[in-house]
Amino acid sequence: MPDRSYPPTRRALARWLKLLALCWFSAAWLPALAADRSGLVIQAGVSQPGPAEAALTAAERALAATESAGDTAARTQALLDVADAYLALGRPGPALERVEQARALAAATGDAALAAQVVAAQGNAELLDGRSEDGRATLERALVLAEQAGRPELAARVGNDLGNLFAGQGQHAQAERLYRRALEQSRAAGDTAQTALVAANAARALRDAGREREAAPLLVLAEESASRLPPSPTRTAVLISVARQQAASKAKGARERALANLAAAAESARATGDERLLSYALGYRAELESASGRPGAALADARDAAHRAQLATAPESLYRWQWQTARLLRAQGDEEGALGAYRLAIGSLESVRRDLASASRAGSLRDQSAPLFAELVDLLVTRAERSSGAAAQADLEEVRDLLERLKSAELEEYFRDDCVSALRSKTRGIERLAPGSAAIYPVVLPDRLVLLLKLPDGLRLHGTRVKADELAREARALRAALEKRTTREYLRSARKVYDWLVRPLQDDLRSAGVTTLVFVPDGVLRTVPLAALHDGQDFLVTRYAVATSPGLSLTDARPASTAKPRLLIGGLTESVQGFPPLPSVADEVAALDALYDGTVLMDSRFDARGFRRAIDSRPYSIVHMASHGDFGRSADDTFILTHDGRITLDQLEVQLGGTAYRKQPVELLVLSACQTAAGDDRAALGLGGVAVKAGAQSALGALWSVSDRASAQLIGEFYRRLQEPSTNKAEALQAAQRRLLADDRYRHPAYWAPFLLIGNWL
């Protein structure tokens, strides 16, 4: 079996992060910590890379010593110890190799308890390897074997691991049953450490299920059990877990108990030399001290926590304590110090961002990192508002760079691959806009909307005093109203959002002679077709060509080729796989075929094999897919329908050549019957990044499904205008949308507004 290893520090981090998605607090390894959505920290692992490496060395020496002893049981146990050491280092491959060797030896001994240990080790290795279903089934088998062998301490450990897995998946009833049984077994075995572990996890599971009153006695049991233990990683981590739960409680005296337990946890960590756990104890104590009105003590602890995390090579926690330091410094009026700490925090986060994304639930990494970026942006904007000239421009340039980095991070998390990095390595992005163009970065902060306007001659800053929740409500109301074709109730929201998003920029846009607006939207604004904003007299699209960009650094700035375009057209008119027919696609495809030289794959010919064969046969500058498609909350939920199946974004990337392989990318990818989930900004994020993923310069897609007759008319006009040498893609879309706007049948924005031009608008 191959060793899926990393360099030493990456191996330890990989172990922490993978287990974050699988378990809270396990007895299979020494306890360590990682953050979750509630701010409570519990996870399986070792305290820091140094002791883990030393433990592996010691276990391998012990294994070598059994080679000539002839004691099969001792050699089996030594193999399991080596496997545990590899698991602590985040290396499931070699751990499973040792487990396989131990399995054969354990069978020869006939020792049922030893066999149960082997199966338990296998289950934990499978979990760490990302095979959660295999790991669950294996641990369930290990639990049965441990109970049959009369080993309550082993059964308690396995039951705790299974409870962690179920609790992490939100299956609270199953988790509670396993925890309660494991608690009985650990107490029957007189295992105080295991009792503390299980009680802490069971309390948290009940709290997460909204049953705080039932959790209280378990929390007391965890606290009392941990307090009876000598200094050890188990004692430290359980006390931190208890303190975090107490800090979240409204019970009288809970905060004081939490502070006392964090102090005891820090003392235990110092006694054992555990820098990683010490950083958590100090960092969480700093949070409580700040909330208790002791900023000086909080700052000292936050800085010490960051120092300890550096010593432990723990960037996954280091950024948290640097961030905390930045907040405290800003609250005390030290802006320069806060800026430095914020920058350090973002650097630490970016060093582990991909690993965090791979271990996080969908959207959770963004929820953790976006506020950090937003706080630094807020501080820089505040400074820029007070200054002028070169100093203000420098702050605004840093704001722009931060926003671009955040956009890239969000797309990387959505697609969970290297397509964004591949594009950045092949393009310089757009540093200077062409005359007549302006880029707008709306930054949604909790108390206001910041508008960063990029013009050919530099950056301008504007703002609107609208709170984030009010903006979100109005944007969602606008999206919902726009899809109602029989009413004009969208006007109220369309005017409000225009007043917040565009009106503050009007003078600058007018004086710069801007005719094209390129929005780099944020959050809920991704779900709204901004061309439909209304100034009280007319729609935005009547005054400006409107495009959307996932980020100017991710936009391929090459101009369109002057060669005659070649189209590959795939279309479905028939009802397949439960989706309704699209009869007007036939007219749409016929019109395109008459305009351009190309290849047409219709209905049964538009299957996965035919599409791939056509792509491989010749280069195409435009790929047009007139078929149902859906952009979901993750790339795994996103597809384009073919006659015989579905093309995923990963398949589309490979088939179109991808940013990593194709020298001349597809200039335009058109998805004329796709849609995103209403109000879901993660789904809209996928649509906004489709050009990046597919390796295309631009994409044209729709936020919601449109009448196929209206779609055919708009798409046809778009392509006709695109043939004009002086018309770019944004202008072609504007002309097509205005033509539908002038048609009484399709004047309602439900028909023309959802079409977005994404990426290169030239």
Confidence of residue 675 (pLDDT cuts 50, 70, 90): confident
Same domain, 575 and 549: no
Q: Which two tokens stand for residue 379?
A: 């501080």
**pLDDT of 353 higher than 80:** no
Confidence of residue 367 (pLDDT cuts 50, 70, 90): low
Q: Which two tokens stand for residue 390?
A: 């070169």
**Residue 743 gets which letter from DSSP?**
S
**pLDDT of 682 higher than 90:** no
**pLDDT of 660 higher than 70:** no
Determine the Cα–Cα distance for residues 507 and 746; give it in Å rounded to an integer. 32
Residue 753 is part of a domain; what is its CATH number? 3.40.50.1460
Q: Which two tokens stand for residue 141?
A: 């088998």
Determine the Cα–Cα distance for residues 689 and 578; give it in Å rounded to an integer. 27
Helix (H) or strand (E) holding 548: strand 545-548
Confidence of residue 54 (pLDDT cuts 50, 70, 90): confident
Determine the Cα–Cα distance for residues 749 and 404; give it in Å rounded to an integer. 30
Average of per-residue pLDDT across 202-211: 92
Task: Render pLDDT for 721-756 as a digit per residue (tens, 0 to 9).
Answer: 999 989 999 999 999 999 999 999 999 999 999 999
Domain presence at residue 284? no
Query: What is the bridge-based pairing of β-strands 646-648 and 622-631?
Result: unpaired
Same domain, 93 and 213: yes
Same domain, 53 and 118: yes
Percent of the chain, pLDDT > 90? 66
Residue 232: predicted pLDDT: 92
Same domain, 469 and 574: no
For 149, other C-beta atoms within 10 Å of its C-beta total: 17
Last residue of a domain, one of 519, 553, 587: 553
Same domain, 450 and 307: no
Q: Which two tokens stand for residue 687?
A: 């649509």
Domain presence at residue 319? yes
Last residue of a domain, one of 529, 553, 577: 553
Confidence of residue 272 (pLDDT cuts 50, 70, 90): very high
Same domain, 453 and 319: no
b/e map of 305-315 (b: 16 or more CB within 10 Å)? Answer: bbbbbbebbbb
Instruction: Compute the residue count for the chain.
Output: 762
Residue 365: predicted pLDDT: 55
Residue 425: predicted pLDDT: 61
> CB of 342 within 8 A of CB of 375?
yes
Domain presence at residue 283? no
Domain presence at residue 279? no
Residues 83, 84, 90, 91: what is their CA dihedral angle, to the nearest 10 degrees?
0
Task: Render pLDDT for 598-641 as a digit per residue (tens, 0 to 9).
Answer: 899 999 999 999 999 998 888 899 999 999 999 988 888 899 99
Nearest to 104 by CA among 92, 125, 88, 118: 118
Distance of CA 444 to the CA centre of its chain: 18
Residue 414: predicted pLDDT: 83
Determine the Cα–Cα distance for residues 703 and 681; give it in Å rounded to an integer. 11
Residue 21: predicted pLDDT: 31
Nearest to 618 by CA among 667, 694, 566, 691: 566
Burial of 681 (0-12, 13-18, 19+ CB in 10 A): buried
Query: What is the bridge-based pairing of β-strands 666-676 and 458-464?
Result: unpaired
Same domain, 499 and 564: no
Confidence of residue 426 (pLDDT cuts 50, 70, 90): low
Residue 369: predicted pLDDT: 80
**pLDDT of 228 higher than 90:** yes
Q: Kindly report the average pLDDT of the chain as a whole number.
A: 87
Phi and psi at residue 312, to the nearest 5°: -85, 0
Same domain, 620 and 521: no
Three-class secondary structure of residue 576 per DSSP: coil
Average of per-residue pLDDT across 242-256: 93
Out of 31-45, 385-399, 506-520, 623-637, pick the least confident: 31-45
**pLDDT of 421 higher than 80:** no
Domain presence at residue 575? yes
Phi and psi at residue 35, to the nearest 5°: -85, 150
Domain that holds residue 324: 290-406
Confidence of residue 22 (pLDDT cuts 50, 70, 90): very low
Same domain, 114 and 160: yes
> CB of 210 within 8 A of CB of 194?
no
Domain presence at residue 3? no
Residue 31: predicted pLDDT: 32
Angle at 306 between CA 303 and CA 307, to 5 degrees: 90
Residue 51: predicted pLDDT: 56
Confidence of residue 173 (pLDDT cuts 50, 70, 90): very high
Out of 11-20, 276-285, 601-610, pick the least confident: 11-20
Out of 106-115, 261-270, 663-672, 706-715, pick the least confident: 663-672
Determine the Cα–Cα distance for residues 178 and 143; give it in Å rounded to an integer. 10
Domain presence at residue 653? yes
Last residue of a domain, one of 504, 520, 553: 553
Q: Is the pTM of this model over 0.95?
A: no
More confident residue, 408 or 286: 286
Residue 88 is part of a domain; what is its CATH number? 1.25.40.10
Residue 56: predicted pLDDT: 84
Domain presence at residue 282? no
Same domain, 248 and 168: yes
How many domains would you assign to the chain? 4
Residue 43: predicted pLDDT: 36
Same domain, 76 and 225: yes
For 464, other C-beta atoms within 10 Å of its C-beta total: 15
Nearest to 749 by CA among 481, 523, 475: 481
Same domain, 516 and 583: no
Burial of 351 (0-12, 13-18, 19+ CB in 10 A): middle
